[in-house]
Structures are given as C-alpha cells and as structure tokens.
Amino acid sequence: MTTDTLPVLAILGGTGDLGTGLARRWAQAGYRVIIGSRTADKAEAAVADLREVMAERGVAAVAVEAMENQAAAEAADIITLTVPFSHQASTLEQLKPALQGKILIDVTVPLVPPRVARVQLPEQGSAGQIAQEILGEEVAVVSAFQNVAAHHLQEGAGLDCDVLVCGNKKEARAEVIKLVEAAGMRGFHAGMINNAAAAEALTSVLITINKQYSCHAGIRITGLDHAE
C-alpha cells in the first residue's frame, strides 16, 4: 500500500508528548500526518522536531505538515484527539462540522488533577461517550491508546504494550487497529464505546503503578495462543 492510498491522519493537540509520539510512529510507517494545534507556530515547531528525529533515525523523507486544528480536521480522513480532558468538549464542539463522516480516535482520559491516580469517570460514563454524544452518529468515535505511555511512543523501538479499541462501528475499530499495528503495537476489538470506561479507568491504575515501581507500565492481553 502506497502513501497515496493510505488515509491522511491528523493529530489535534498534537504538540504534546502523546501526540508527537504517535506522529513519529505513523510518519515513519509511511502515513501522511498533519500535526494540529491551536496555534500554527506550535504545530510548526513540532513538525521541525519530528523531521529532526526522523533524520537521526535515518529516515530519509516523511510526509508531515503543520496546521491549525480546524484546517487539520478538514484535511484529514482520520483524526486523533490528544487534548487534555478539560479541553475535550470545547474542542469537539468547535470542530464538529469538520469531523462529520470521518473517524475520530479519542485518546482522552478523564483525569482530574491533582488526584490523577484516582479513577474519576464522568457522569456520562467515559470521555469516549462524551465525544460520541457531542459529535453524533455521523462521526465514528473510536477510543484507543489510553494505556500507552507517551514516553514509550517517543522512542523508536518496539512496544511491549497492547491497545484496547472501543467504538460502536466495527469497521471503524478495524481501521484504528491498523493504525495501532502501524505504530508497533497490538490492537484488540474491545467492544462498544461504553467500554471505553474500562480503558480510561485503567490509566489511573497505571499511574499508581508507575509511581510505586518507577516505571512506564502498560497492559498486555494474554491467553491468545490458541485463539483463532
């Protein structure tokens, strides 16, 4: 599959560690990646950094560009949202028209500082459900990547971490699993968007483990040796 036949990817709020980590991996896998931000300057700085990292890894050319969030959402086929929970709803409300008919990967975790190691799910059930309610059924919201340490995404090595993929449309989940695999991980169909609550809650558990054991923990699905 060539770059011309791959979906165009946008990462909104893509200048943070999580967003740039995903951008590095997808760009290196041959995808055209748009890094979106509220300000063009921040997006351009992130793109420059990504190109520098790719050069250090010996990757000759990557298709990556900078845009403000609105333009990025309009230009992409699949959009990943990596903004903090406090900005999730307002960002989606603003970009709702540009997202219609597309896949939105929601990476949001409903962390409420300062007690981020405590599970605090919203009354709607999960951040994934909030996204689906705001955007409506014409947008395929898929929840993923909540349990992957940004620190590991930044690295070029393989990842010993699995990704739970939740969403109401199986075809959209399958597309996101392809992106999980392109980023060097295993993705698993984990049910409807309601199930995103489990993955989101696990993040606070992993934060607790990270603090206790000075690590960057993830999750791993076992018992698959005889699965068809």
Q: SS3 for 24-71, per residue?
A: HHHHHCCCCEEEEECCHHHHHHHHHHHHHHHHHCCCCCCCEEEEEHHH
Residues 187, 190, 194, 197, CA torsion sign: negative
> Cα(93)–Cα(149) distance, rounded to whole angstroms?
27
Taken in order of first residue, the domains within the chain and their CATH numbers are 3-213 (3.40.50.720)
Q: Average pLDDT of 83-90?
A: 96
pLDDT of 4 > 80? The answer is no
Exposed e or buried b for every residue in 53-82, given b needs 16+ CB within 10 A? bbeeeeeeebebbbbbbebbbbbbebbbbb
Paired residues of 67 in beta bridges: 36
For the sheet with 64-68, list strands across it: 64-68, 33-37, 9-12, 78-81, 103-106, 140-143, 162-167, 186-189
Q: Which amino acid is at 182?
A: A
- Predicted confidence at residue 206, as pLDDT, reads 97
Q: What is the pTM of this model?
A: 0.95
pLDDT at 227 over 70: no
**Out of 17-31, 69-83, 145-159, 201-215, which region has the weakest mean confidence (pLDDT)?**
145-159
- Per-residue pLDDT, 165: 99
| Tokens coding 156 | 């070029």
Region 89-105 average pLDDT: 98
End-to-end alpha carbon distance in the chain: 26
**What is the structure's pLDDT at 25?**
96
Residue 158 has pLDDT above 90, yes or no: no
Mean pLDDT of 170-178: 99
Written as one letter, the residue type at 222 is T
Return the SS3 of 184: coil
Q: Report pLDDT digits (tens) over 16-36.
A: 999 999 999 999 999 999 999
